[in-house]
Structure 1
Amino acid sequence: MVKIRLKRMGAHKKPFYRVVVADSRNSRNGKFIEEIGYFDPMTEPPVIKIDDEKAKKWLSEGAQPTEIVKGLLKKSGIVE
């Protein structure tokens, strides 16, 4: 199954996340199919940048977002 999830980047105690499309069997920071955006929770306000065309394409093809990514998609206005 294909999932849209976060890949953790950044330094110790300074997280930065990339929003990626990956096979659910791969590890969190392992191999992924495509990067569709990023999320930086350390800035004020947090920065969410997701390519809406790519996200909609993957959602239409059946990719399942995780709960946190689903919230980010709603905040970005990609999903209602």
Structure 2
Amino acid sequence: MVKIRLARHGSNKRPFYKIIVADNRRARNGRFIEKIGFFNPLQKDKNKKVSMKIKRIAFWIKNGAILSERVKNICKTYNK
């Protein structure tokens, strides 16, 4: 099953997440199919906090991908 989820990057206590499309059997920061955005929770400016390729997310959902709960909430909150 393919999922759209977060992969954690960044240093200790300074999280930075990439929004990726990956097989759910792979590790959190392991191999992925496509990078479709990022999420920086520490950024103050809302315009720079999230970047997503909405068309690619729609494409993957149409082809059977499932959004993780956190990505679903990010899409609702920051959808432009």
Q: Same fold (TM over 0.5)?
A: yes
**Is 1:71 paired with 2:73?**
yes
4+ long deviations beyond 2 Å: none
Q: Percent of aligned positions with the same letter in both sequences?
A: 42
Kindly indicate which of the two structures has a greater share of residues assigned to helix: 2
Q: Give 1:44 deviation, angstroms.
A: 1.4
Unaligned runs of 5+ in 2: none
Q: Give 1:45 deviation, angstroms.
A: 4.3
> How many residues matched?
78
Q: Give 1:71 deviation, angstroms.
A: 0.6
Structure 1 residue identity aligned to 2:60: W
For 1:60 and 1:74, locate their aligned partners in 2 and report how far apart those are by CA, in whole Å: 18
For 1:57 and 1:76, locate their aligned partners in 2 and report how far apart those are by CA, in whole Å: 19
Is 61-70 or 40-49 further displaced after alignment?
Answer: 40-49
Is 54-63 or 37-46 further displaced after alignment?
Answer: 37-46
TM-score (norm: length of structure 1)? 0.91
For 1:73 and 1:63, locate their aligned partners in 2 and report how far apart those are by CA, in whole Å: 15
TM-score (norm: length of structure 2)? 0.91
For 2:2 and 2:75, locate their aligned partners in 1 and report how far apart those are by CA, in whole Å: 17
Is 45-54 or 56-65 further displaced after alignment?
Answer: 45-54
User: Counterparts in 2 of 1:1-80, with a 5 A limit?
Assistant: 1-45=1-45, 47-77=49-79
CA RMSD of aligned residues (A): 1.3
Is the contact between residue 50 and residue 76 of structure 1 (CA under 8 Å) also seen in structure 2? no
Q: Give 1:76 deviation, angstroms.
A: 3.0
1:24-69 Cα distance to aligned partner (Å, 9 max, x none): 0000000000000000001114501101111110011110011000
